[in-house]
């Protein structure tokens, strides 16, 4: 199998583990591929050595290909990671043998249609966020779901999160936690001016449209914290479930709520 290795930048531990895994893969008659900034093609599996940010970057790199991802946690939380560094070789062996659980998780297709007609498309494993950027003032925008008006929001921004992303920025902004099997996305306003504007959970099959009022300034659309661009007057943001899900290896012996208790510091039970 052709196995990509994506490393957290300037991390000596990641480099050491990657060298060890590459040597082991060659000995097992697999082809390791060290990934840099170039194109990612013809991979059977992607191994990410780093934190959740590095894994999200890797997911962007293979967004339009059915490549399963195995995350080796070198970060702080590691919600998306599969294993610790000490378990890396054994876990990778399980993945290559087909005995490791691979979850299919919802991703978002985020489409920015410029007033000029130019269209930008990105894919989100966690979330798409519309915010005011560095300026501390309210953002006004219209949100519609399948054509029906949700609200004319006045807030610092809006987070559109997948179930996977519900434990990220959305959670910090007061949004609910959705277990990965829930086929939905959550709309979480950031510091809304109207306090009754609460998070809303909508079906995965829905299509969200966001429009800004005339002459917005410093409005930014970001996807998974990995990519961002300014949004101008007349632009349209469309968000819906992507056709291709994220494929993520998970340890079979660690249920989802075990991970939540560990990562969020919940009490035992």
Q: 44, 52, 146, 156: which one is catalytic?
A: 52
Give the count of domains, the chain: 2
For residues 140 and 152, the answer to whether their CB atoms sit within 8 Å is yes
For residues 118, 67, 75, 179, the Cα torsion angle rounded to the nearest 10 degrees is 90
| 54 and 123 together in one domain | no
> What is the model's pTM?
0.90
- Structural domain that includes position 36: 2-105+245-264
Catalytic-residue membership of 253? no
Q: Supply the pLDDT for residue 259.
A: 82
Q: What is the CATH number of the domain that holds 77?
A: 3.40.50.10330
178-185 LR contacts (CB < 8 Å, sep 24+): 179/256, 180/103, 180/105, 180/256, 183/106, 185/106, 185/108, 185/160, 185/161, 185/239, 185/241
Instruction: Read off the CATH number of the domain in which 229 is found.
Output: 2.60.200.30
Q: What is the rounded CA–CA span in Å between residue 52 and residue 157?
A: 23
- For residues 192 and 139, membership in a common domain is answered with yes
Instruction: Give the DSSP H/E element, type plus range, for residue 139.
Output: strand 139-145
Position 21 in a domain: yes
* Coil vs helix vs strand at 184: strand
Residue 269 in any domain: the answer is no
Residue-wise pLDDT tens digits, 59-78 = 998 887 889 999 999 977 77
Task: Say yes or no: 140 and 230 in one domain.
Answer: yes
Which pLDDT score, from 0 to 100, does residue 167 have?
A: 93
Same-domain pairing of 114 and 10: no
Mean pLDDT by 10 residues, the chain (269 residues): 91 94 97 80 92 92 89 85 93 96 95 94 96 77 95 93 96 95 95 89 96 80 94 93 94 80 75
Contact 49, 74 (CB under 8 A): yes
Whether residues 223 and 156 share a domain: the answer is yes
Q: Which two tokens stand for residue 159?
A: 């987070």
Rounded (5°) CA angle 246-247-250 = 125
């Amino acid at each position: 199998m052709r196995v990509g290795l994506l490393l957290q930048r300037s991390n000596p531990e990641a480099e050491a583990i990657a060298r060890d895994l590459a040597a082991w893969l060659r000995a097992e008659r697999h082809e390791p591929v060290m990934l840099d900034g170039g194109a990612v093609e013809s991979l059977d599996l992607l191994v990410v050595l780093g934190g959740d940010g590095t894994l999200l970057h890797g997911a962007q790199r293979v967004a339009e290909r059915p490549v399963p991802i195995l995350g080796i946690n070198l970060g702080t939380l590691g919600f998306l990671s599969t294993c610790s560094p000490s378990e890396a070789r054994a876990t990778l062996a399980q993945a290559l043998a087909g005995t490791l659980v691979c979850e299919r998780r919802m991703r978002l297709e985020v489409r920015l249609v410029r007033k000029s007609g130019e269209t930008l498309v990105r894919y989100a494993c966690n979330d798409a966020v519309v915010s005011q950027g560095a300026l501390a003032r309210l953002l006004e925008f219209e949100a519609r779901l399948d054509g029906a008006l949700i609200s004319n929001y006045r807030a610092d921004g809006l987070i559109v999160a997948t179930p996977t992303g519900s434990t990220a920025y959305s959670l910090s902004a007061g949004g609910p936690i959705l277990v990965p099997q829930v086929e939905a996305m959550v709309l979480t306003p950031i510091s809304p001016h109207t306090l009754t504007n609460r998070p809303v959970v909508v079906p995965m099959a829905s299509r969200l449209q966001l429009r800004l009022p005339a002459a917005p300034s410093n409005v930014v659309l970001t996807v998974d914290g990995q990519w961002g661009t300014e949004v101008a007057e007349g632009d349209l943001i469309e968000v819906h479930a992507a056709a291709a899900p994220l494929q993520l290896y998970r340890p079979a012996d660690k249920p989802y709520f075990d991970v939540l208790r560990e990562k969020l510091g919940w009490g035992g039970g």
